[in-house]
Chains A and B, each alone.
Chain A
Amino acid sequence: MINIVVAFPAEARPLAEYFRLRDKDTTGPFPVYRNAALCLTISGLGKVQSAAATAWLQGITRGQAPAGWLNIGIAGHAIHNIGDGFIAHRITDQASSRSWYPPQVHGLKLPTDNLLTVDLPETGYQNDALYDMEAAGFYPIACRSATAELVQCFKIVSDNRLQPVTGVDTGRYSDLVISRLGEIESLLDEIERMLQTPGVRYPGQEDLKLFTANWHFSQTQQHQLMRLLRRWKALAPDQSLRCRDLMKQNQAGDVLRWLENHLHALPVKLGQEPCPGISSR
């Protein structure tokens, strides 16, 4: 799952249409649109609203698998062309001077730039940075529930010195987002790819359900089980756990002992090559 936070309905609309976010929920403090892979909310203008919406999304998706986070929106810049898209490699909150550095470890060739979050619309463009009003609220909150590589900000230039900001023009915002849907999709794909990396997604979670459905494990036993399942996945990645001998075990303690004994018998074969061990099924 990747959570998307935008400021305006006009930014959300093309995203909801393109990614088919058809499940709509407007009963909470922030509207939410989702499908099986994406969840989008509209925060409203400003970093406080953005932080609140991010925290709200964290709350309603709590307990689910690890998620990525993407803040999409418009930004100003002194000289960049209107319509250009950038990933933020540094986010600075102008009010507090605090900076964050989203790691750029994805393989995309998209340009990156400094991003300065301001409290009021910027028309002077004095700094060599993109100007927005949300990222410094979004980023540190999103990083509380996800590793920083999975939290990114993508900004599309909406105004510059030649065409300064003159007020909220939502019709234009939709067009700007539409013009960058390809890059946004690539970034989402990269975040999704990183989410599938072992170490971000902990193996064994799926198998845990098999065990808890068949035996009752105490909390301590669940921790022991997770450790054993991890070792099983590492030492015998090709072997199914649904073998007849295991399924015959009566109690959780018997299952743990069974797993321990079989793990002990498995040879350590480095390099994750399939190794001979117990026969499955």
Chain B
Amino acid sequence: MFSHIYIEEEISTHPRARDICARFPRAQLVPCEHYGAVFNPRSQNFRLQKHRPALILAKKHSKLLLEAPRGYGIGGEKNYYFSHLLNCLYDCRYCFLQGMYRSAHYVLFVNYEDFCMEIDAIQQAHQDNPTWFFSGYDCDSMALEPVSGFAAHFLPYFSARPDVFLELRTKSTQIRALLNRDPLANTVVAFSFTPGETHRALEHKVPGIERRLAAMARLQQSGWKLGLRFDPLIYQQNFRQQYSGLFAQLFNRLDVEQLHSVSLGPFRLPRDYFRNILQLYPDEPLYAGPLAETNGTVSYRNDLEHEITGFCTQELLNYIPESRLFSCPATA
């Protein structure tokens, strides 16, 4: 899977790092002082690296948790996100990570214990408010689970803290770590979808809709709370037909009563990310479409954005009550 694993000298003896290296005996181990020396240099091409990304094992020293942007959330008053992993196993052409990072290598921060201590500290500060912690903003929460053991570590931790809430966001069917244990009342496993045509065109390496749906059904049977995420909403000429079909496919199979939340958000990118992505994928029709820039954010033209968001909102309300539907703001 990895031809090269870069490993920060500071964590070279960390048990988690050693376990991961042992899984890839044929990978070339390359010591580095700080992951940034591999990940951050300016002259790198994300698109070329995405063909054969390496793994970087590192320690996260600061900013382990960040407050979620205003407007993001699924009902909680305080929302934080954290990233044990930078970059994603999948290759979705609409993803902002392509524009945010110069490198497509995966950076795995192995000091999970420090993330947990930070969550404890934040929880102490907000004892009166339900606090949500979101994983899966800068990565897919579950896709690299067999390597990272992320869920296997964090689920027991959240199990012992019923007053704090966790969202695992994923497009993966790697659910063994969830099925192997009792479901948690304070954890939502949220799956992201785009319609089939968009999935085939833009979500490279992502498991098909049916496979994800089957994984969701198994989790639901096991008692896990699930979420559905339609973010970003992608425009195509026949988007009504596409999204109607997707919603019907999902809601016919899932027990709606057991769905924790559904959220949607328009396609949007910060201007600088958009420019970076355009350099990388000048041949991508998605970025040659009806886009416009407003206040530093690139998104669909206003009329189109309202059209697609309004349509999808109305369609979703045919299946779920308004109290369980959340919209992400249009600003990036």
Q: Residues of A with Cβ closer than 8 Å to B?
A: 89-90, 99-101, 103-107, 112, 114, 143-144, 146-149, 194, 197-200, 202-204, 230-235, 237, 263, 267-272
Contact = CB atoms under 8 A, between A and B. Distances in A.
B285 A270 contact: yes
Contacts of B43: 143-144, 146-148
B49 A231 contact: no
A259 to B, nearest CB: 12
Interface stretch (B26-34, B129-137, B212-220, B221-229): B26-34
B109 to A, nearest CB: 18
Given A199-B279, A271-B197, A271-B285, 19 more contacts: A90-B30, A101-B41, A103-B48, A103-B54, A103-B103, A112-B4, A147-B48, A148-B44, A149-B48, A200-B47, A202-B282, A232-B288, A268-B285, A268-B289, A269-B285, A270-B201, A270-B236, A272-B284, A272-B285
B198 interface: yes
A71 to B, nearest CB: 16
The 6 closest A-B pairs by CB, nearest first: A271-B201, A270-B201, A234-B288, A231-B288, A268-B289, A147-B45
B202 A148 contact: no
B44 A149 contact: yes
B165 to A, nearest CB: 35
Interface in B280-305: 280-290
Nearest to B197: A270
Contacts of B51: 105, 107
Nearest to B52: A105
Contact of B237 (A90, A234, A267): A267
Interface centre among B30, B37, B200, B278 (most CB of A within 10 A): B30
Contacts of B236: 268-270
Interface residues of B, number: 45
Given A101-B6, A268-B237, A233 B41 contact: no
A230 B44 CA distance: 22
B244 interface: no
Contacts of A148: 41, 43-45
A90 B32 contact: yes
A147 B42 CA distance: 8
B317 interface: no
A227 B285 CA distance: 13
Interface string B32-70: 110001100101110111011110000000000000000
B3 interface: yes
A200 B285 contact: no
A157 to B, nearest CB: 17
B282 A198 contact: yes
B82 interface: no
A199 B281 contact: yes
Of listed A107, A194, A230, A268, residue having the most chain B CB within 10 A: A268
A199 B282 contact: yes
Nearest to B3: A104
Contacts of A263: 288
Contacts of A231: 288
Contacts of A200: 45, 47-48
B288 A198 contact: no
10 contacts: A101-B30, A101-B32, A101-B38, A147-B48, A230-B288, A235-B285, A268-B235, A270-B198, A270-B201, A271-B197
B45 A199 contact: yes
B283 A272 contact: yes
B234 interface: yes
Contacts of B105: 103
A104 B32 contact: no
Residue from B33, B47, B281 whose CB has the most chain A CB atoms within 10 Å: B47
Nearest to A105: B52
Contacts of A101: 6, 30, 32, 37-38, 41
A112 B6 CA distance: 13
Contact of A104 (B54, B103, B281): B54
A202 B235 CA distance: 25
Contacts of B283: 198-199, 203, 233-234, 237, 272
A276 to B, nearest CB: 12
Contact of A99 (B37, B234, B281): B37
B24 to A, nearest CB: 14
For B33, B235, B279, B282, the residue with the greatest tally of chain A CB atoms inside 10 Å of its CB is B282
A77 B43 CA distance: 29
Nearest to B46: A199
Nearest to A149: B48
A199 to B, nearest CB: 4
A62 to B, nearest CB: 16
B188 to A, nearest CB: 29
Contacts of A232: 288
Given A99-B32, A112-B28, A234-B283, A197 B47 contact: yes
Contacts of A267: 237
A104 B288 contact: no
Contact of B49 (A105, A143, A203, A272): A105
A271 B4 contact: no
Contacts of A233: 282-283
B299 to A, nearest CB: 14
B198 A105 contact: no
Nearest to B234: A270
A203 B284 CA distance: 11
B48 A194 contact: yes
B87 to A, nearest CB: 13
